[in-house]
Chains A and B, each alone.
Chain A
Amino acid sequence: MRVVRDLEWQGPVPAGEGEYGEFFAAAAEGRLLIQQCPQCGHRQHYPRALCTACAAVPEWIEASGTGTVYTYTIVRQYGVPAFAELPYVLAMVDLPEGVRMFGGLTGVDPEAVEIGMPVSAYARTYDDDHAMVFWEPA
Chain B
Amino acid sequence: MRQVDDAVAEVFLAMIGRRCAAVEPDPAIHAPSSTEHISARIALSGTLAVECAVEFPTPSAVRLTAALLGCHHAPWDDAMVADAVAELCNMIAGGWKKRLGQPAWGADLSVPAISRGPSPSSDRGLNTGATTITRAYAFDGSPFVVHLTML
The answer on A and B forming one complex is no
Q: Which residues of A contact B (CB under 8 A)?
A: none
Q: Which residues of B contact A (CB under 8 A)?
A: none
